[in-house]
Amino acid sequence: MTASDATKMSPAEWKLMRIIWTKGGASSSEVIELIQKKRSWTESTVKTLLRRLVNKEILQTVKDGRKFIYHPTIEEKDAMNENVTELFDHLCNMKKGKVVIELLSKLELSRTDIQELQKVLVQKSKTAPEVIKCDCLPEGMKDDCC
């Protein structure tokens, strides 16, 4: 596994990583304290998850006196992009737009986010094809296309 393989993180590991990304690095006691304000996880559960993240090379440790500080080996944005890309790789090309529309309708977005999306959509519309082709079946077997 490479250091940037964020697609292998479990939902529980994501919760810890969000703390560590936000803090820029944290000791196990800091992570435990912060996660226990949201979840009723035991100290041993958190330490197990931290160890797994180190083994997956998502976190690295740096000794600071008597404690270890956990630092991410991948940026949060990169981890999110890897996971979204992997998910969208599983979807029919023809249906990805509908999924994005559904997601956008459910997400809370800032005005700035919406303005940026509008700019991207204006640019994309200049070169967008009329129809996206289905890629579910091999070429030449598209009779039962989506």
Task: Say what the pLDDT of residue 137 is.
Answer: 86
Q: What is the largest CA-CA distance in the chain?
A: 66
Give the pair of three-digit tokens for residue 114: 């919406």
pLDDT of 15 higher than 70: yes
Amino acid at 50: L
List strands edge to edge, sheet with 26-27.
26-27, 67-72, 59-64
More confident residue, 5 or 57: 57
Give this prediction's pTM. Answer: 0.83
Query: For residue 59, how many other CB atoms are within 10 A of its CB?
Result: 26
Question: Bigger pLDDT: 139 or 42?
Answer: 42
For range 46-56, the mean pLDDT: 96
What is the predicted pLDDT for the residue at 139? 76
How far is residue 106's CA from residue 79's CA, in Å, rounded to a whole number?
A: 22
For residue 35, what are the contacts with CB-CB under 8 A and spacing of at least 6?
A: 15, 16, 19, 41, 46
Distance CA 137, CA 143 (A): 9
Check whether 3 has a pLDDT greater than 90: no
For the domain spanning 6-72, the CATH number is 1.10.10.10
DSSP string over 33-93: HHHHTTS---HHHHHHHHHHHHHTTSEEEEEETTEEEEEESS-HHHHHHHHHHHHHHTS-G
First to last CA, the chain: 35
Report the pLDDT averaged over residues 69-86: 96
Q: Which pLDDT score is estimated for 2?
A: 47
Q: Supply 83's token pair.
A: 């996971």
Give the residue, 2 or 123, on which the prediction is more confident: 123
